[in-house]
Amino acid sequence: MLATRQFATTRTTIADLPIADLVTQFGTPCYVYDLESIKQRVADLASFDVVRYAQKALSNIAILDRLRKLGAVVDAVSAGEIHRALRAGFSPNSQPVGIVYTADVFDEDALDLVVKHNIPVNVGSPDMIEQLGQRAPGRNIAMRINPGFGHGHSQKTNTGGPQSKHGIWHSQIDDCLLRADRHGLTVTGLHMHIGSGTDLEHLSKVCGAMEDACIKVGRTITTISAGGGLPVPYQANQQYVDLHQYFELWNATRNRLQHQFGHDVQLEIEPGRYLVAEAGYLICEIRSVKRMGENLFYLVNAGFNDLARPILYGAHHPISICPRSHGSKDQVDVVIGGPLCESGDIFTQSEGGFVASRKLPMADVGDWVILEVSGAYGFAMSSNYNSKFRCPEILIEDGQAKLIRQRETEADLLRLEIIP
Ligand SMILES: *Cc1c(COP(=O)(O)O)cnc(C)c1O
């Protein structure tokens, strides 16, 4: 039996620290991350040779620093992410290599940085081979392959097939090898990020496509990457992925390739969400409790500027209430909304923007709402929309709450603007 998760609708602590104390110290809204959860998730993946964290999920440099100390390396998808990785102490020259740049295009900044710091590139388009080859001939590269089919929970998150913009189309591998040859680039790795974590039948198709692609490239291959896409439960009774079987499928693929090539092939995995989603909690405060027809609303002081997944994908986050005063409360159906001047600013919505309700305890202005499993694509997607200050981030480590990003101020908001 695979493990499942349950979520309580009342919560008074995070990693054993009282929420009331966290709020007193850091204010609301704020993101809190439990390092212990991240440690467990890294440990889950110990059978892979390399755990390469897709930092776009949560890119605070303190989180990157701790992941480095836990033995992970990182993926960077932009110049900014390369700067973060360097700042957090990752080296492009370590073994396994600390930073890989993965993208479908180079912007000028990113190309300059990978050339300057000798950062390995995982190319997602034939043009990238030309652009890198002209600037830095003779290097090793990896190619991200689109095997011609995908898997994803929505159109916006599907990462393979003809509708996807990602990677090099599987039938263009030969052409890309010729391009690489022309610049003396050697293809030493292949990568597929198709995100089929729970569907093992589909995963075996992905593994088969990887094997075919590797054989096409030939004996220069020394690394394969399974990409990311490992899911985590966001709702009660959802199961964790069967990591044992997931690993076994990839490991068997790797073993066949080693046999075929007669040398070692490293197996990387590249999770974002899996490592950090469950570690994160967005704490906000109820500022209004109001009724609109048959709907009861709790309006809180966090909005989609803080957590965009519900408005972007209709994503479901577990939600709990932390009451200021004790005593059990009846459950009611409620809609949770934020402060933004936009009607889509609702945390309880389904895909397509339909307002939904949630059974939660009765609560009052001043009680706290906790948006759970929000560590991945939470703060990382936050914005200054409505000129809101981005909220602080706090890391709980060894029973201590440590500030890892300050709440933005008016000075931060206005720093780059000019009245000419
Ligand atoms: C986003 C991304 C990942 C991580 O995806 P998750 O679903 O968060 O695991 C891994 N690799 C690449 C190239 C990505 O773009």
The separation between the first and the last C-alpha atoms of the chain, rounded to the nearest angstrom, is 65
Tell me how crowded residue 208 is: count the other CB atoms within 10 A of its CB.
13
Q: Is 59 in the pocket of ligand 1 (CB under 6 A)?
A: no
Dump the DSSP string for 44-78. Answer: HTTTSSEEEEEGGGS--HHHHHHHHHTT-EEEE-S
pLDDT in tens, 135-173: 999 999 999 999 998 876 555 667 788 888 999 999 999
Residue 39: both structure tokens together: 């440690």
Q: Which entry of 284, 322, 341, 391 is annotated as an active-site residue?
A: 341
Mean pLDDT by 10 residues, the chain (420 residues): 88 98 98 98 98 98 98 98 98 96 96 98 98 97 94 67 90 97 98 80 93 97 96 92 95 98 98 98 98 96 98 96 87 97 94 92 97 98 98 98 98 98
What is the per-residue pLDDT for 2?
77
Mutate to test the pocket of ligand 1, among 55, 56, 246 (most ligand atoms within 8 A of CB): 56
The CA 300 to ligand 1 mean position distance, Å, reads: 30
Q: Is 229 in the pocket of ligand 1 (CB under 6 A)?
A: yes
What is the per-residue pLDDT for 160?
83
Question: Quick check: 207 and 252 in contact, CB under 8 A?
Answer: yes
Q: What are the angstrom distances between the C-alpha of 55 and each of 10, 33, 125, 276?
A: 31, 15, 21, 10
State the closest ligand 1 atom to the C-alpha of 274, by its place in the atom list counted from 1: 9
What is the per-residue pLDDT for 4?
87
What is the per-residue pLDDT for 1?
63
- pTM of this structure: 0.96
Residue nearest to atom 3 of ligand 1 (CA): 228
Question: Quick check: 101 and 122 in contact, CB under 8 A?
Answer: yes
Q: Which residues pair with 10 in a beta bridge?
A: 321
Question: Quick check: 103 and 124 in contact, CB under 8 A?
Answer: yes
Residue 106: both structure tokens together: 């180079």
Supply angle C-alpha 205, 210, 212, rounded to 5. Answer: 95
pLDDT in tens, 261-270: 999 999 999 9
The DSSP call for residue 136 is S
Mutate to test the pocket of ligand 1, among 77, 270, 313, 374 (most ligand atoms within 8 A of CB): 270
The DSSP call for residue 263 is S
User: Is there a cis peptide before residue 29, judged by omega within 30 degrees of 0?
Assistant: yes
Q: Is 278 in the pocket of ligand 1 (CB under 6 A)?
A: no
**CA dihedral of residues 119, 120, 126, 127 (deg, nearest 10):** 10
- What CA–CA distance (Å, rounded) separates 295 from 291? 6
Spatial neighbors of 193 by CB under 8 A, at least 6 apart, are: 144, 159, 166, 167, 225, 227, 228, 229, 270
What is the per-residue pLDDT for 369?
98
Question: Quick check: 298 and 334 in contact, CB under 8 A?
Answer: yes
Supply angle C-alpha 389, 393, 394, rounded to 5. Answer: 145
In one-letter notation, the amino acid at residue 411 is A
